[in-house]
Amino acid sequence: MALLSNFILRLFCLFLHINPCLTYSLKKCSILYEDNPSAGVSVDCANRDLVSIPDDIPKEAVSIELRGNNIQTIKDDFCGMSRLRYLGLRKSGITSVDDGCFNDLVSLETLMMRNNHLFALTANMFQGLSNLTTLDLSHSGICFIHGAAFRFLISLKVLNLDYNTLKNTADIQPIFQLPQIQTLSLRCNKLSSFESKNFLLNKSSSLQQLFISGGSLRKFSITTPIFPYLQVVELSTCLPVTKLKWDIDKTLLENITQFYVDENALSFKGVQNVMQNLISLRHLKVNMLVSWIKRGLLSAVCKIQSLRRLDFFYNNMNNKTLKLAPCSQLAELYLQETNLNELTNGSIQSMKMLQVLNMSDNKLTRVSNDIRSLAFLKILHLDNNFISKLDCEDFENTTRLVELNLNTNQIPSLERCVLEHLTDLKHLDLGYNKLRAFGDTFKVALHKLEFLDMSENDIDILSSNTLGGLQSLKHLKMASDDIMLMENETFPELRNLVDLNVSFPNGYKPELQGLQRLENLIVYFGKGFTFKNLYQNKHGGLSDLKLLKSLTVIGCTDLTFHLKNLKEMLQAMGHLEAFEAVDVFEEAPDVDTFQFNPHLSSLTLTNTNMSDLKPELFRPIPNLQRLDLTNSMLRSMDFLLQANLSALKYLKLTGNKIIMINEAVWEALPSLTYLDLSYNLFTCECSNAGFIQWVKTNKQTQIVDAHRYECSFPVSKEGTLLLDFHTQPCFNDASFLCFISTTCLVVLVLFTSLIYHFLRQHLVYAFYLFLAFLYDSKRKKKNDGHQFDAFVSYNVCDEGWVYREMLPVLEGQQGWRLCLHHRDFQPGKPIIENITDAIYGSRKTICVISRSYLQSEWCSNEFQMASFRLFDEKKDVLILLFLEEIPAHHLSPFYRMRKLVKKRTYLSWPQAAQHPGVFWQNVQRALQAGGAVAEPVPAGH
C-alpha cells in the first residue's frame, strides 16, 4: 500500500506539473555558481543544522559538501549520483553507515569523513567505491575494522585513520593488500606494536608513505621485505608519551628518502642508530629536538651526505644550540616558529649550497650575519618577525635571491643600497611594515622583479618615478590608507604590468599611459577624492588603459564621483570584461555609461542608490553574464523586463527593498541559473503568487535560500516564510477550475484502475463479507438451529495436529460435533459460501493459529468472518487456540486478532505440553459456555 500511495502521489504531481525532485531551489543547500557549467554541479550544504541528507540534491552533482551538520545515519541517500567525485562529511555527527549506501558512487574519488562517531567499519560499507583514491576517517572513534571492509577500494591511494582507537594490527592488515595504496596515516591510535612479521601478506605492499604514533605504541619493527617501496616514514608521539623500540631492516632504511620523528618517539641512541643507516635520506623533519641537539644530534644528521632538506620548525630552540655548520650539503632549511631571536655567528654560515631558508614567525630583529654569507640562496622568508632595520650589507652577498619575503615586520625605511645587489630578484614582499618613504630605492638593478607588495605601510608620499627601473614588473600591490600625496609620475612606463592594486589619494592626477599591458586594476579612493582627476589629464588617467579587462573601484562615504566621470573613464576601455564599483555612486549611472564596453560580462554596483535604474543601461552590454546590485535600494525588478539580458546567468539583488516580483521577469532572463534575493521586503499577498509558484516549480534557476525568505507585509504575516503563503485562492478563475476538474477526472480514472488492479481480491472479500451479513440476517429471521458444535478453522500445514490430537479428544472422548472443511464442506459450492455456512451453522468457531495460519489468505478470511459474527451477536462464539508461541509484534499486521488477544482469554498448546488433560478440559468448558460475552479480562492460558 505504501508503494501504491507513493506511485499515485508521483502521478498526481506529474499531472499538476509539480515535480519536487526537479525543483532547482534547494531547501537546505545551495548550488555553487560556476562560470564553466561543464565543470559540473557543486552543492554546498555545510553548517545547515541538517539531521538527514536532503533528498533534493541534484543527481548530477559532482561535489557535495555536508560538513558541520548532525547527520547520524547514512542510508541510501546518494542513489543515482554516478557523477559525484567529491563528498565531504566532516564533523557531521555520523554514528552509522548502512552497508552498500555508496553503491551508486562509481565516480567518487575523495571521501572526507573525519570527526564523526563511527564505531566500526563493516564489510560492505564501501561497496561501489571502486574509483575512490582518498579516504579520510580520522577522529572518528573507530575501534574495529571488518576484514573485508576495504576489499572494494581497489583504487585507493591515501587512507587517513589518525586519532581513532584501533588496538589490533589485524584490523589494518587488509590495507596493505590494496593494489594502489601509497599513503597510510595511523597517528594516535591504541596499537601496542607495529611489526611486519605479524602481517601475513601474500604479496609485497605498494605502500610508499607511513605515518604512525600512539600513546600505547611500544614497538615499531619492519624486518620482513613486505614494504619494498616505502620511502617516507613518520614516527611522532601522542599522550601519554612513550619511547619506541625500533627495529627496521637495514636494507629498508637505505631506501628511506623522507623521515619525520619526534624527540619523544625514540631514544637518543635509537635515533643515532637510525641516522647511520639512512644513506638515501633527502628530507628530515624533527620536532622537540633541543635536548638531542645538546647531545650532538646534528653531527649525526650532517653526516648523511644525501640530505638536502631539514625541518626544525615548531620547536622552542635555544639560540646557542643551533650549530649546523657541518650540514654544508643542505639545500633547504626550515626554522619557522622556533622562537629564535637571532642566529649566532657560525650557525649556518658554512651552508654554501643552501637555496631555501624559511625563518618566518620568529623574533628576529635583524638579518643575521650568517644569512649574509649564503651566496647560493634563492628563497628567503623572514616574514612575521620584528626586524626594525635593513642594512646595506644584509643582502650584499645573496645575489642569487629570487624571492624575498619581509612582510609584517617593523621596517621604517629602505635605502637604495639594500636591494642594489639583488639582480635576480623576482618576488619582493614588503607589505605591512612601517615604511614611510622609498625615495630612489627601486632605481637599482631590479630588472627581473615581477611581483612587488608595498601595501599597508606608513607611506604618506609617493614621489615621481618611485618605481623606475622595474621594467619586468607584472604584479604590484601598493594600497594603503596612509597615502596622502602621490605625484603625477609615480607610475613610470611599466609596460609589463598586468595586475595593479593601488590607493589614489585626494588630488592625484594619475598618468598611467605607460601601463600598456595592464589587465586587472583595483583602485581604493581616499577621502575627498574627485574623479575628474581620472580623465582630465591630457596624457594619462584611466582612459589610457585600453587593454584593461577587469576594473574594481572602491570608495568611501564622502567620495565625490559624478556619473559623467565614470562614462569618460570607461570610454576607452573597449576590452573591459568585468567592472565593480563599491561605495562609489550616489545614483544610478546614465543609460549610455557602458556604450563603449560591449564585451562586459560581469557588473557589480553595490552600496549605491539604484532606485531610478533604467533598463536602457544594459542595452549596450548584451553579453552580460553576472550582475550584482547588492544594497542598491531597488524596489522592483521590472527594469529587467526591457534590459535585453538574454545571456545573464548570475543575478544577485540581496539587501534591497523589493516587495513584489513580476513573474514576466523570468521570461526576459532565459539563461538565468543563479538568483539571490535574500534580505528583501517581500509581501505575502496574491501579487507574489506567480513568483512563489515559479520558485517551487522552475527547473533551471537556483533561487538561493528561497525557503528562508520571510514576509515583511502585510503586518499580520510579518516574519512568516514566503513559500508557506497559500497561493491556491489566488488562482480561482474559470480556466484554472476547468484544469483542476479535468485533472481530478483523469486522476480518478487512474486511481480506479489502480485499485481494481492491486486490490481486486480485497474487494471480492468485502463483497462476500457483505453477503455474510445478509446471510446472518436471514438466518435470524428463520431461527435456524446449529448443525455443528464448532467449526475448526486451520491451515492445511496443521491438519496432522487436528486429526491426531484434536479429533480423538473432542469428537471421540467428549462427543462434540465438529465441522472440518476437508470433510464437511459441500463439493461444487463456492468456498466463501461454504465458509459462511460453516461459521453460522456452528455454535462456535475454533481458530487453530500458527505462523502458517497467519500467512494463509483463506484462513484470514475465515477469522475475519468469525470475528464479525462475534461483534455482531455479542456472544462468546470465538475460541483462539495457539499452536505456537507467537510474539505480539508478529501480530501487528493482524489488527483484529491482536486486539482480541489483548482483551480475551486464549489457549496455548505449547504451554499445555506438560498437562494436556487440563488443556482439553479448558477447551470443553469453552465449548460449553454460552450467552452474552463476558467483560474483557487480561489474556491468560
Tell me what pLDDT residue 525 has: 79
Which residue did the predictor score with more confidence, 466 or 117? 117
Q: How many CB atoms lie within 10 A of CB 746?
A: 13
Q: Which range is least confidently modeled, 25-29, 355-359, 751-755, 761-765?
A: 761-765
Query: What 3 state SS string does 60-109 have?
Result: CEEEEECCCCCCCEECCCCCCCCCCCEEECCCCCCCEECCCCCCCCCCCC
Q: What percent of the chain has pLDDT over 70?
A: 84
Tell me what pLDDT residue 692 has: 93
Tell me what pLDDT residue 524 has: 87
Tell me what pLDDT residue 6 has: 43
pLDDT (tens digit per residue) in 145-154: 999 999 999 9
Q: Which range is least confidently modeled, 497-501, 643-647, 761-765?
A: 761-765
Cell of 872: 455482531
Task: Please say if the pLDDT value at position 34 is more than 50.
Answer: yes
801-829 burial code (b ≥16 CB/10 A, e <16) = ebeebbbebbeeeeebebbbbeebbeeee
22-56 burial code (b ≥16 CB/10 A, e <16) = ebbbbebbbbebbeeeeebbbbbbbebebeebbee
Tell me what pLDDT residue 932 has: 41
Mean pLDDT, the chain, whole residue set: 84
| Cα–Cα distance for residue pair 13/15, rounded to 1 Å | 5
Task: Please say if the pLDDT value at position 828 is more than 70.
Answer: yes
| Cα–Cα distance for residue pair 670/641, rounded to 1 Å | 11
Which residue did the predictor score with more confidence, 23 or 473? 473
| Cα–Cα distance for residue pair 66/69, rounded to 1 Å | 7
Task: Please say if the pLDDT value at position 935 is more than 50.
Answer: no
- Residues 704, 706, 708, 712: is their CA dihedral positive or negative? positive
The residue ranges of DSSP E strands in 376-517, in sequence order, are 379-381, 403-405, 427-429, 451-453, 461-462, 475-478, 485-486, 499-504
Average of per-residue pLDDT across 435-447? 80
| Cα–Cα distance for residue pair 846/881, rounded to 1 Å | 7
Task: Please say if the pLDDT value at position 928 is more than 50.
Answer: yes
The torsion angle over the Cα atoms of residues 268, 274, 278 and 283, rounded to 10 degrees, is -40
pLDDT (tens digit per residue) in 669-700: 999 999 999 999 999 999 999 999 999 888 88
Tell me what pLDDT residue 902 has: 61
Tell me what pLDDT residue 8 has: 42
Tell me what pLDDT residue 4 has: 42
Average of per-residue pLDDT across 618-629? 96
Task: Please say if the pLDDT value at position 780 is more than 70.
Answer: no
| Cα–Cα distance for residue pair 929/757, rounded to 1 Å | 44
Average of per-residue pLDDT across 456-475? 82
Which residue did the predictor score with more confidence, 464 or 83? 83
pLDDT (tens digit per residue) in 532-587: 555 544 445 676 788 899 999 888 655 555 666 677 778 888 899 999 999 887 88
Task: Please say if the pLDDT value at position 11 is more than 50.
Answer: no
| Cα–Cα distance for residue pair 589/457, rounded to 1 Å | 34
Tell me how far apart the terminal alpha carbons of the chain are, to the nearest angstrom.
Answer: 35
Q: Does pTM top 0.85 for this prediction?
A: no
Average of per-residue pLDDT across 615-643? 95
Tell me what pLDDT residue 831 has: 80
Vertex 190: Cα angle to 188 and 192 (nearest 5): 115
What confidence category does residue 749 fall into, taking pLDDT thresholds of 50, 70 and 90? confident
Task: Please say if the pLDDT value at position 861 is more than 80.
Answer: no
Task: Please say if the pLDDT value at position 383 is more than 60.
Answer: yes
pLDDT (tens digit per residue) in 249-271: 888 888 999 999 887 788 888 88
Average of per-residue pLDDT across 185-213? 92
Under 8 Å between Cβ of 227 and 199:
no
Average of per-residue pLDDT across 869-873? 64
Cell of 506: 585626494
